[in-house]
Each structure stands twice: as structure tokens, then as C-alpha cells.
Amino acid sequence: MNLDAEAILASQGVVGQDSPPLRSVSKRGQSSSTYAKSEVDLFQKQAHTEGKTLCGLILRSQLLVLLKRRIFVDFTSTQESLNFTSYEGAERLPLDYAEFCKEMASRLPTVHEISQRLTPQDMERFVDLRPYMNFAVVSIKNYSSLSEAYRLFRLAGLRHLVVVNVFNQIVGMITRKDLL
């Protein structure tokens, strides 16, 4: 019997937006260990496909750091696209990489604890995940063999492997636990 990657998908990946409303982040974050990122691709409409295209990944612990530090933006500022390729007019991020790593190493509160400290005004704001998410996500096609998925886990030392279809739309996620 030849199993493919889709046969052992975990159900703990959550698909979301690149600048989600804080209200949806706090709800989703309580139930999932990973927040798999996606964004609608403009070419999808031309290809007549449905669903979301993979563009990056953020871990629950990384999301907790952003919530704990209250890295929120207003709706109008999410409309402005960040330019990651130029330093011209670049603003300093509210949380740089060194601080972000320090926070990740410390004890993080739960989403429930953070949610209790948020005001109703905070819940109307957004979290811009783009500066903090991993855009170089390792993925595998849903028709790939299980042995290929296992080999990727071993060679790359992965914790999560995103499974996508031929249109690069998220089908699910495989974790180490799924391969045991």
C-alpha cells in the first residue's frame, strides 16, 4: 500500500490572513499550536480556483509574543503595504529580531491570559504578521509519497510541513507526531 502525504494530515494548522483582526487571532490562537498563513492570490481568479495560497507561517509562540507586547495596528495602517526590499523611508519595527527572540525564550502567558488584559478598543485593531512570519516555508504537494515527507522531516529537521495542492493552496499540515 502506497500512502500519500494527504493521508496523515494533522488538523492543528489554522489558515488566516496576513493582517488579521485581533478578535479572530485571540479566538483561533486558543485552539491551535500553529497559525498557518495564507493570503488570496490575484492569479487565483484567473485560474478559476478556490481557496487560499500559502505565503508563510507563524508559530503560536510567536503570535503570543506579538499579543503580549501589544504589537497592534489600526485598520488604516494595514492598508499601507510594507516595503521589505528598500530602506528608504523605512520605519523601525515595534519589536526587532533580538527582542523577539528574547521574548520567545521567556515564559509566555496563554492566549486566555492575554485576552483578559485586552480592551474592547484593542479587539477592533489588527496584528500585522508580515514582519514576523516565516516566508520560506517548506511545503510538499498532497500527492507526494509519505516516504518523501518523512525524508524532508529528517533532512531539514522540520517541526511542521505544510501540505499544498497543485495551485499552492493549503490542504493541511503534517507534524512530527503524525509521522510517528
CA angle 24/13/95 to nearest 5° reads 60
Residue 152 within any structural domain of the chain? no
Residue 166 within any structural domain of the chain? no
Per residue in 38-94, pLDDT tens? 432 222 222 334 566 788 888 888 888 888 888 887 766 444 555 444 455 556 677
Range of the domain at 70: 11-138
Residue 23 within any structural domain of the chain? yes
CA angle 70/161/158 to nearest 5° reads 85
Q: What is the pLDDT of residue 59?
A: 81
Radius of gyration of the chain (CA): 17
pTM score, whole prediction:
0.71
Mean pLDDT for all residues in the chain: 73
Residue 144 within any structural domain of the chain? no
Q: How many domains does the chain have?
A: 1
**Residue that is written with C-alpha cell 491551535 in the block:** 32
Residue 143 within any structural domain of the chain? no
